[in-house]
Chains A and B, each alone.
Chain A
Amino acid sequence: MHRSVGDLRTGLVCVLLACGSGGFVACASTTDSLNNEGFDNGGGGGPLSNAASSSTASGAGGGSTLPPEQELENNFGAPVATGRYVWVANPSSGRVAYIDGKTLQIQIVDAGHGPTHLAAIPDADDDVAIVLNTLSNDATVLRAKEGALSSLNLQVHPGANSWAVSPDGRWATAWTDVKGIENDDPLDGYQAVSVLDLHTENTTQLSVGYRPQSLHYNEASSRLLVVSEEGITSILLDSGSPSVQAHFPLTDDPVEDPDARDVALTPDGNRALVRRVDESVLNIYDTDDGSHVDIPLPGAITDLDLADNGAMAVAVMRAVGKVALIPCTTIVDDPTSLSIIDVSATTVGSVSLPSDSSLAFLYTNAQPNDMLTVLDTALPTPTPRLIKLQSAVSSVFPTPDASHALVLHSAPPVSSKYKSAISLVPVEAQLPSKILGLESAPISVAMAPDNTQALLALGSLFDTPYQMVVARFPSLEIDTYALGSEPIAAGIVAGANSGFVAQQHPEGRITFVDFKSGEVRTLTGFELATQVVDGSTP
């Protein structure tokens, strides 16, 4: 096996979000490195859309006849949760509602004109969120402190529709994701980014490569890397005001389809791992100078994921039944540390990495396959453990500690009366998994950070009933609740030990479930509740 390893200082990208403020956890999205890193999706769960439409470099089966692997764990933008609050923007009224996840008290604050895109800001003391006001081209920073709320407005460039927030909560960058724009014009490059310094309350507008795809901060929050169709633009944040440090392309092929590549950045931001559809070579770029090394692997890479702690990258090669374990901290200096594991006992094409464990969950959704493979990447020669499930796997959401996993199954056989199914899989205890048939398909999943709960929203416009499912670990209890209207996203309010499902409703609707008591309560009409006048204010 030929390996060409350069200076691989790798890290990880994972969209299991944990806020330092006691935080929140969004959907347990696992493998979509094309998603925006950071807090741009707050506590909202991940909609489980058809992967083909949302995934770019999902793998083509390494020359096999199988279709691409599907990545179903995309993120959803609104609402967002901070430590204790859920924030919901109302573009029509120009207000943002923030709901106490414990008391369910609703409060309203004025934002700018057309508040639309919300993001949670990590903060050790307060609950902080930022909202893009799309009609007034500014952003409002909202800070809830001991029941009182303050706000701050900062300018952003016109047309922004996404956020990237630094791990330390100092920087929030507004950018334009072309995927959120209908009928985009090819001459619109969306190359402006507005870097907001929330400490000095200044905005710096910079230009990056053509059509940004994702933004990543390094873990020190000193650098912002913008992955675009043209390559990677590096922005320095710790040199006075933010400034563009460098830009380099990610390909030598001028006609390469940028949507055919999958870029993952290490937590320190020093390396970018790039895989391409139908390619067996993994490129590792130095984000300082743009140099890269190529690592040939035995087969086309169908999925690539980085552990949250940056220790390991896992590349899956479905056609050859292999998995490459790439120790990100050593591989640059010791190319032999790259190990290839045979996983050919069953077909695997995708990988999910939990945030707080060395286990890797391998599966395929390119073909009906009811096997889940678990691999301990911390072992020098890990032996794949196969877990037989009762239905074909669609996607896997491990708990952060990997003690359990929630498995979504793909369409059940025609003989089944159900439209979908989930399994709760005890991984650590190696007990039998529990399967539950569902009357409608999950559209969003959220995993609690304490490893004890998973929350699913089921149903869509043409797929009823609308339901909310709470799965509990390790008991494998499952409770199902009806929802009043079509769900949008599920999320966790970790500081309140509760979950929520946001739903379609002209006045706004969220159903909360208290994980401790199991009590369910639906709030509808956020602004109405705040307009009650009781004589306490003349």
Chain B
Amino acid sequence: MRLHNACFALTALVAIGSSGCERQPVWDQPIAGAQILGMDHGIAIVDPGAERALLLSPEDDLSLSQDSFAITTGFATAKVTPDGSRLLVLSHGTVPRERADDPEPTLQTFTAGGGARTSHSYRLSDPLSGLKVDPLSRFAVVHASGDAAFLQNPNELSIVDLTREQTDDNPVHLTLRSFGGTPQAFTFTEDLVLPGGKRRLLVVQTDRDIALVDLDAPDLPEITIPLSSDTNKMVPGGVAVSDGALERDDDARIAIRLQDDSSVIIINLEPVLESDKDDTPQSFRAVPNFVFTDGIPSDIAFVQTDGGLRLAALLGTRLTLVNPVTGIASAVDLGAQEFSQMTIVTDVVGQTSDGSDVAMLWSPGKSHIAFIAFGSTVGQPYKAIEKLKLDTAVSTVAPIGGDNPHLRILRSSTGGAVHVLDLLTRTAAPLHASSSGAGLTTSADGGRAWLHQGSSLAKLDLTTLHPQNFQLQRPISRVFDVTRPSGGDALITLHESGLIGATVLDAQQPALSTARHYAGLLLGELP
């Protein structure tokens, strides 16, 4: 259905009139709890009260086309796949189920825009509230998350292959083998070349062990690596994954950072021993090995150096590089400033001349950034460390995609200042907002950033760094820079008061004169 500005009130009246004065129950449902998510071609509004999801897509004339999907009773949470293509809605169904036709727990997926409109529903075994989505948008994991059922198994997972419809083997319901731990975090690996073929793993961190689930064969028993010995309890704190050399299938590794421990556990994924082949269903085995990092790392990453693969562990003013095979560590002194976060930016800035990685180091609340090029020079295990000093402390680092992957937007702790960091030139251009706490959104094509505060809106051209300011009529709560199904980009600014309003602008050539205004998105498509 295509909606135009100022028609929502009329729509509501017509809806009431056409119902023969019989008021539909949905009109009595509260509008609170709506969840709004950005998608590639629009936005999704999950309206639990009306048990529906609205997918709104901007058209050529900046009008919003609307698709309404019914969602299962008992909404729990919703997410959008990282590629922006699917809305995932997790619902508990009716709890407790007393009749056979009571709704079951489900995970629903919805896509819309450009005329396409699809939905899938996956029946789940339990009303769980946790939902993790694969960064590559293929899988979703449903898990327990603070659910308050009378009896619940916190180690129960449902793994959904979103590229397939529901079948007997999709989703796969499994209960992780537990030595007393419960899942705390999930990591989806990319394709790993392992003995037995290429596959993806789900790394589940509990508070005392690690479980590896083969996402390509989730019905196989998972591999559990207890981390705690009789005398020493070790709690996972983070994960880094390396596939190793492309031509080898025996050198993939998973590194587990530990909380409150100066060691990192590297799990080598090796071929199953000949003597064990008849006894194990697995085609690879997990061989854990400690490496000492000489301090509790705040972040870890596998990096390529001219000496081969190393595990980099960030320790404030030091970076420890550990050979994952020998366990031999060398230290890099980072100077007086402390860093807690590390991002490998080699894919943006390119490898060093000897094929080594480049990492960006930063720290929330600190005003300095460093770049370290791995690869040794005489007497030191790195090639260069470059530092940038900003005039304000950084709170977040936002990546930019599309045409400007070499840029990062650094938000200040107060939100009043923004720096556009160029990873190639190692420069940081400052931009100042007149008020603090501005919201920030970037476009998928990497060409623009949007800042908003109150009813003020600004577009920042990330190529020229030229800002363009606008003043809307209503306070802006969030903005979404989306691609129009028919081409071009639109900016949907939301006014999340009442029934949720929106102002839609052309994202590339924004002008208030051509903008469209919507007063009550939640009224759309109601019976």
A residues within 8 Å of B by Cβ? Answer: 92-93, 103, 105, 147, 481-485, 505-507, 509, 511, 520-525, 527-529, 531-537
Contact A484 B222 (CB under 8 A): no
A529 and B292 in contact, given A92-B230, A507-B229, A535-B282 (Cβ under 8 angstroms)? no
B446 at the binding interface (Cβ < 8 Å): no
B407 at the binding interface (Cβ < 8 Å): no
Contact B275 A147 (CB under 8 A): yes
Contact A532 B285 (CB under 8 A): yes
Known: A482-B328, A505-B290, A532-B288. 13 other contacts (CB 8 A): A484-B291, A484-B328, A505-B292, A522-B291, A524-B289, A524-B292, A525-B288, A529-B289, A531-B226, A534-B223, A535-B220, A535-B222, A535-B282
Expressed in whole angstroms, the minimum distance between the Cβ of B98 and any Cβ of chain A is 36
Contact B226 A528 (CB under 8 A): yes
Contact A522 B326 (CB under 8 A): yes
Would you list the 6 A-B pairs with minimal beta carbon distance, nearest first?
Answer: A535-B221, A522-B327, A524-B290, A536-B280, A484-B327, A525-B290
Q: Which of B265, B276, B289 contacts A523 (CB 8 A)?
A: B289
A532 and B223 in contact, given A484-B292, A506-B232 (Cβ under 8 angstroms)? yes
Contact A507 B225 (CB under 8 A): no
The residues in B between 445 and 496 inclusive whose CB is less than 8 angstroms from any CB of A are none
- Cβ of B9: which chain A residues have Cβ within 8 Å of it? none
CA–CA, A147 and B279, complex, Å? 14
- Cβ of B229: which chain A residues have Cβ within 8 Å of it? 93, 507, 525, 527-528
Contact A92 B231 (CB under 8 A): yes
CA–CA, A483 and B325, complex, Å? 12
Contact B290 A532 (CB under 8 A): no
Q: Which of B220, B275, B286 contacts A532 (CB 8 A)?
A: B286
A522 and B226 in contact, given A482-B328, A535-B282 (Cβ under 8 angstroms)? no
- Cβ of A506: which chain B residues have Cβ within 8 Å of it? 232
A483 and B223 in contact, given A93-B231, A529-B288 (Cβ under 8 angstroms)? no
B196 at the binding interface (Cβ < 8 Å): no
The 29 listed contacts between A and B (C-beta, < 8 Å) are: A93-B229, A103-B273, A481-B326, A482-B330, A484-B292, A484-B326, A484-B327, A507-B232, A509-B327, A511-B327, A520-B325, A521-B325, A521-B326, A524-B290, A524-B291, A524-B292, A525-B265, A525-B288, A528-B226, A528-B227, A529-B288, A532-B223, A532-B285, A532-B287, A532-B288, A534-B281, A535-B222, A536-B280, A537-B279
- Cβ of A533: which chain B residues have Cβ within 8 Å of it? 177, 223-224, 226
B329 at the binding interface (Cβ < 8 Å): yes
Contact A105 B286 (CB under 8 A): no
Output the nearest chain B residue to A519 by Cβ-Cβ distance: B325
CA–CA, A270 and B462, complex, Å? 93
Contact A522 B328 (CB under 8 A): yes
CA–CA, A105 and B325, complex, Å? 14
Output the nearest chain B residue to A93 by Cβ-Cβ distance: B230
Output the nearest chain B residue to A100 by Cβ-Cβ distance: B273
Contact with A along B320-339 (1 / 0, CB 8 A): 00000111111000000000
CA–CA, A443 and B281, complex, Å? 45
Contact B224 A532 (CB under 8 A): yes
Interface of A is mostly: loop
- Cβ of A509: which chain B residues have Cβ within 8 Å of it? 290, 327
Output the nearest chain A residue to B220 by Cβ-Cβ distance: A535
Contact B279 A511 (CB under 8 A): no
A534 and B329 in contact, given A92-B230, A103-B273, A507-B232 (Cβ under 8 angstroms)? no
Residue among A509, A522, A523, A534 with the highest chain B CB neighbour number at 10 A: A534
CA–CA, A533 and B223, complex, Å? 6
Q: Which of A481, A484, A524, A532 contacts B225 (CB 8 A)?
A: A532
- Cβ of A482: which chain B residues have Cβ within 8 Å of it? 326, 328, 330
Expressed in whole angstroms, the minimum distance between the Cβ of A317 and any Cβ of chain B is 47
CA–CA, A411 and B226, complex, Å? 47
CA–CA, A105 and B272, complex, Å? 11
CA–CA, A535 and B176, complex, Å? 11
Output the nearest chain A residue to B177 by Cβ-Cβ distance: A533
Q: Which of A522, A524, A534 contacts B286 (CB 8 A)?
A: A534
Expressed in whole angstroms, the minimum distance between the Cβ of A127 and any Cβ of chain B is 15
CA–CA, A532 and B289, complex, Å? 12
Output the nearest chain A residue to B227 by Cβ-Cβ distance: A528
- Cβ of B328: which chain A residues have Cβ within 8 Å of it? 481-484, 522
Q: Which of A520, A525, A536 contacts B276 (CB 8 A)?
A: A536
- Cβ of A483: which chain B residues have Cβ within 8 Å of it? 328
A511 and B326 in contact, given A529-B288, A532-B286 (Cβ under 8 angstroms)? yes
A536 and B281 in contact, given A505-B290, A524-B291, A528-B225 (Cβ under 8 angstroms)? yes
CA–CA, A301 and B287, complex, Å? 55
Residue among A484, A509, A523, A537 with the highest chain B CB neighbour number at 10 A: A484
- Cβ of A105: which chain B residues have Cβ within 8 Å of it? 273
CA–CA, A483 and B329, complex, Å? 8
Contact with A along B196-221 (1 / 0, CB 8 A): 00000000000000000000000011
- Cβ of B263: which chain A residues have Cβ within 8 Å of it? 507, 524
- Cβ of A529: which chain B residues have Cβ within 8 Å of it? 287-289
Contact A485 B292 (CB under 8 A): yes
CA–CA, A535 and B327, complex, Å? 29
Q: Which of B177, B276, B325 contacts A522 (CB 8 A)?
A: B325
- Cβ of B227: which chain A residues have Cβ within 8 Å of it? 528
CA–CA, A457 and B188, complex, Å? 41
Output the nearest chain B residue to A147 by Cβ-Cβ distance: B275
CA–CA, A535 and B222, complex, Å? 7
Q: Which of A523, A524, A528, A534 contacts B221 (CB 8 A)?
A: A534
- Cβ of B221: which chain A residues have Cβ within 8 Å of it? 534-535
- Cβ of A532: which chain B residues have Cβ within 8 Å of it? 223-226, 285-288
Output the nearest chain A residue to B212 by Cβ-Cβ distance: A534
- Cβ of B220: which chain A residues have Cβ within 8 Å of it? 535
Contact B226 A536 (CB under 8 A): no
Output the nearest chain A residue to B281 by Cβ-Cβ distance: A535
Contact A522 B281 (CB under 8 A): no
CA–CA, A535 and B175, complex, Å? 13
CA–CA, A525 and B234, complex, Å? 12
Q: Which of A520, A521, A522, A528 contacts B288 (CB 8 A)?
A: A528
Output the nearest chain B residue to A531 by Cβ-Cβ distance: B226
Expressed in whole angstroms, the minimum distance between the Cβ of B450 and any Cβ of chain A is 49
Expressed in whole angstroms, the minimum distance between the Cβ of A443 and any Cβ of chain B is 18
- Cβ of B326: which chain A residues have Cβ within 8 Å of it? 481-482, 484, 511, 520-522
CA–CA, A520 and B323, complex, Å? 11
CA–CA, A93 and B232, complex, Å? 11
Output the nearest chain A residue to B234 by Cβ-Cβ distance: A528
Contact B290 A534 (CB under 8 A): no
Contact B226 A535 (CB under 8 A): no
- Cβ of B282: which chain A residues have Cβ within 8 Å of it? 534-536
- Cβ of A147: which chain B residues have Cβ within 8 Å of it? 275
- Cβ of A93: which chain B residues have Cβ within 8 Å of it? 229-231
CA–CA, A531 and B227, complex, Å? 9
A522 and B230 in contact, given A484-B329, A535-B223, A536-B280 (Cβ under 8 angstroms)? no
Output the nearest chain B residue to A533 by Cβ-Cβ distance: B224
- Cβ of B225: which chain A residues have Cβ within 8 Å of it? 528, 531-532
- Cβ of A507: which chain B residues have Cβ within 8 Å of it? 229, 232, 263, 290
Contact B290 A536 (CB under 8 A): no
- Cβ of A523: which chain B residues have Cβ within 8 Å of it? 289
CA–CA, A531 and B288, complex, Å? 10
CA–CA, A93 and B230, complex, Å? 6
CA–CA, A506 and B290, complex, Å? 10
- Cβ of B287: which chain A residues have Cβ within 8 Å of it? 529, 532
Expressed in whole angstroms, the minimum distance between the Cβ of A106 and any Cβ of chain B is 8
Expressed in whole angstroms, the minimum distance between the Cβ of A288 and any Cβ of chain B is 50
Expressed in whole angstroms, the minimum distance between the Cβ of B333 and any Cβ of chain A is 16
Expressed in whole angstroms, the minimum distance between the Cβ of B162 and any Cβ of chain A is 26
Output the nearest chain B residue to A524 by Cβ-Cβ distance: B290
- Cβ of B222: which chain A residues have Cβ within 8 Å of it? 535
Contact A536 B289 (CB under 8 A): no
CA–CA, A5 and B329, complex, Å? 60
Expressed in whole angstroms, the minimum distance between the Cβ of A503 and any Cβ of chain B is 9
Expressed in whole angstroms, the minimum distance between the Cβ of B444 and any Cβ of chain A is 41
